Amino acid sequence: MKEFEFNKDEYLKRINYAADVDVSITCLKTIHRAQFYTIPFENFDICLGKGINITPEAIFQKLVNKKRGGYCFELNGLLLMALKSFGFNARALLARVHTREKPSGRGHQITLITLQDKQWIADVGFGSDTPRTPLPLEINQPISQNGQTLRLIKTKEFGYMLQNQKDNDWKDLYSFDLEYVHLGDIEYGNHFTSTHHSSFFTSSRVAALPLDNGKITLLDHTLKKTVNGRERDIELAEDQSYIDALQTHFGIELDASYDALKLLNE
């Protein structure tokens, strides 16, 4: 079998990136923003019972060639492949999600980049709370971007913790350490996250895509559009119009009927 070769031109075309690429923080930030604002966060292959294939070929075929979206293992997997192909010193990390009552296992993939003796964290796959820009690996240094303020703190139990500031309070998002992550670790995390009955992604239909002046998200049947701080909710019907809304609002084109869109827990 021919070894997979990352197609840089097709990737840059997919994320609407027209500038030159070099190994710099400016380019890292621009690529991050371009992919984040172009490729949606979504879990509909899980809902369709297809599972999530995270081989390089499958990720590229789905997210680039078929112009679909994905979740963290796909979105950050694609970003990692792209950065490495462009010459960046980058590797995967796994994180625990802290947005529920109890922290998850290591079921969220992010990227560590070392650039000019400085380390950065990049993440384009955390739904509506995805960091808007790569974050320097610095403690207690809040960074504000596009209405979002994040910081990293250091904890004894979980290592680095990413927090989001909301209503003058800091909320935990996810924690991670800098231990080396191997393919088997990622495969374990992806399998649990995409198949286990307790996983958020097997019990909910989700999508998210940022806008220049806000964001648009979907949770099951509630489409929420936030523009300039104003929110508007739209309840989607349980018919073909739901599939049409995915195309209209997120650019997600499913080759399936609404009736095929089942949750694993149903």
Q: Are 186 and 80 in contact (CB under 8 A)?
A: no
Is 265 part of any domain?
no
Place of tokens 């936030």: 226
Is 156 part of any domain?
yes
Is 20 part of any domain?
yes
Is 71 part of any domain?
yes
User: Sign (positive/negative) of CA torsion 127, 47, 191, 91?
Assistant: negative
pLDDT value of residue 265: 53
Number of domains in the chain: 1
Structural domain containing residue 228: 8-260
Beta bridge partners of 151: 163
pLDDT value of residue 263: 65
- Work out the mean pLDDT of the chain and round it to a whole number: 94
CATH assignment of the domain containing 234: 3.30.2140.20
Is 3 part of any domain?
no
Q: CA separation (Å) from 133 to 113, 128, 252?
A: 13, 13, 24
pLDDT value of residue 166: 87
Is 242 part of any domain?
yes
Is 82 part of any domain?
yes
Please list the pLDDT of the chain residue by residue as tens digits (266 residues): 578 899 999 999 999 999 999 999 999 999 999 999 999 999 999 999 999 999 999 999 999 999 999 999 999 999 999 999 999 999 999 999 999 889 999 999 999 999 989 999 999 999 989 999 999 999 999 999 888 899 999 999 999 999 999 888 999 999 999 999 999 999 999 999 999 998 999 999 999 999 988 899 999 999 999 988 899 999 999 999 999 999 999 999 998 888 888 765 55
In 3D, which of 223, 206, 215 has the Cα closest to residue 41? Answer: 206
Over residues 43-95, the pLDDT tens digits come to 999 999 999 999 999 999 999 999 999 999 999 999 999 999 999 999 999 99
Is 230 part of any domain?
yes
pLDDT value of residue 266: 52
Distance CA 5, CA 222 (A): 39
